[in-house]
Amino acid sequence: MFEIYKDKAGEFRFRLKAKNGQNILASEGYKQKASCENGIESVRKNSQDDSKYDLKQGTSGKWHFNLKATNGQVIGTSQSYESESGAKNGIASVKTNAPDASVKEIEE
């Protein structure tokens, strides 16, 4: 499920949750709700293309990934994972969950 919410700065954000409720992808802030909704559609569209994922290891040794749009802009960032295989499982979860995920607006 995608959740749309307003952050403390008043910007709209979305996060994709797996069926177990775990956050697997989060967006940056958008000024307009419609732009946030477009971001969700971009995740749906780009989530099936392996070339759109950028898997990285941070200086802490933990792994994360970004999902990029066709124009190269980051549309979603994962949580941190202890291992590369964990991050790859996160990518697989986005690919499984994003295409048919419902969208719900929530209060934070």
Instruction: Please check whether residue 35 is in contact with residue 27, taking contact to mean a CB–CB distance below 8 angstroms.
Output: no
Tokens of 28: 């940056």
List the end-to-end C-alpha distance of the chain, in Å, as a whole number. 16
Per-residue pLDDT at 43 exceeds 90: yes
Give domain 2-106's CATH number out of 2.30.29.80, 1.20.1250.20, 2.40.110.10, 3.90.550.10: 2.30.29.80
pLDDT digits (tens, 9 = 90+) for 6-22: 999 999 999 999 988 89
In the numeric block, the tokens 């775990």 are attached to 22
pLDDT digits (tens, 9 = 90+) for 68-97: 999 999 999 999 999 999 999 999 999 999
59 vs 108, higher pLDDT: 59
Give me the residue spans of the domains in the chain: 2-106
Prediction pTM value: 0.92
